[in-house]
Amino acid sequence: MKRIAAIALILSAAAPSLASAASFDNRQAIQGERIERGRNNGSITWTEGIKLRAEQNRIARTKTQMEAKGYLTKSDRNTLSEMQQQASQNIRSESRDGWHRLFNLPRVGK
């Protein structure tokens, strides 16, 4: 019985970090889709898309470096959250800045 209680305690302690990792990855995927949607409809230009995707890659690399010790501290999670919030604001501002791909020109780049 003590073994089951110990396992339950360990799993309950690990659950928040697993949930935060899943929400981080979900948010990264949503931001990537927003960038691609903007690229497809022309509201994000090729160079803006490169810059925004580089920012997403930088956030993912930072997360990987932070996870190298085997876990994310609350400070690490806050830092990543702030980085994602800034990236979200950058996507929004780039898609609304008035620079558009001309619709009669083909989409260029990834």
Q: What is the pLDDT of residues 70-102, one digit of tens each?
A: 999 999 999 999 999 999 999 999 888 876 666
For residue 54, give both structure tokens: 């580089």
Maximum Cα interatomic distance, the chain, rounded to a whole number of Å: 70
> By three-state DSSP, how is residue 103 classified?
coil
Report the pLDDT value the prediction gives residue 99, as an integer from 0 to 100.
Answer: 67
Q: pLDDT band at residue 32, thresholds of 50, 70 and 90? A: very high
Q: What crossing angle do the helices spanning 74-95 and 2-41 adopt, rounded to 10°?
A: 20
Nearest to 38 by CA among 105, 10, 46: 46
User: Is pLDDT at 57 greater than 90 in this prediction?
Assistant: yes
In the predicted structure, residue 8 carries a pLDDT above the cut 60:
no
